[in-house]
Structure 1
Amino acid sequence: MRRIVCLLAFISTAVAHDCSDCYPLPAAHKAFCAADWVSRVKVIDVNNPYEDHSGQFDVVYTIEHVYYYTMPNSYCKLPPLLLAKSDEAQRLNMTAGKEYLLAGSKDCDMALRTSYDVQVNDDGIYGAQEWHNVSETLQQGLLKYNC
Structure 2
Amino acid sequence: MRTGTACGDDDLRQTLAKLTARFQETTLAKMKYFTIPFLFSISNAQSCRCFIVPSNDAFCGADWVAHVKVLNKSAPLMINSYEYVTYNLQEVKLFKISAEARHLSSPVMTTSNSSSCGVSLVEDEEYLLTGMYYDRNFLTSNCGQVIDDEQEGIFDRGPMKWKNVNAEFLANLGSFKC
TM-score over 0.5 for the alignment? Answer: yes
Question: Aligned-pair distance for 1:93?
Answer: 2.6
Relative to structure 2, which stretch is displaced further, 90-99 or 113-122? Answer: 90-99
**In 2, Cα distance between equivalents of 1:126 and 1:137:** 20
Q: Which residue of 2 aligns with 1:37?
A: 64
Question: Aligned-pair distance for 1:91?
Answer: 5.5
**In 2, Cα distance between equivalents of 1:80 and 1:107:** 12
What TM-score do the two structures reach when normalised by structure 2?
0.60
Q: Which residue of 2 aligns with 1:19?
A: none
Q: What runs of 5+ residues in structure 1 fail to find an aligned partner?
A: 1-25
**In 2, Cα distance between equivalents of 1:31 and 1:55:** 28
Q: What runs of 5+ residues in structure 2 fail to find an aligned partner?
A: 1-52
Question: Aligned-pair distance for 1:57?
Answer: 2.9
| CA 91–106 in structure 1, closer or farther in 2 if over 3 Å, else same | closer
Identity of aligned residues (%): 28
Q: Which residue of 1 aligns with 2:119?
A: 92
Count of aligned positions = 119
2:106 paired with 1:75? no
Q: Check whether the contact 2:106–2:137 (CA below 8 A) recurs between aligned residues.
A: no
Cα RMSD for the two superposed structures: 2.2
Question: Aligned-pair distance for 1:77?
Answer: 1.6
What TM-score do the two structures reach when normalised by structure 1?
0.72
Q: Check whether the contact 2:63–2:131 (CA below 8 A) recurs between aligned residues.
A: yes
Q: Which runs of 4+ in 1 moved over 4 A?
A: none
| CA 133–111 in structure 1, closer or farther in 2 if over 3 Å, else same | same
Q: Report the AA paired with residue 177 of structure 2.
A: N
Q: Which residue of 2 aligns with 1:137?
A: 168
Q: Deviations over 1:26-65 (max 9, x none)?
A: 8111110010110000000012334x6x961321100011
Q: Report the AA paired with residue 39 of structure 1.
A: A
| CA 91–105 in structure 1, closer or farther in 2 if over 3 Å, else same | closer
**In 1, Cα distance between equivalents of 2:81 and 2:139:** 13
Question: Aligned-pair distance for 1:80?
Answer: 3.5
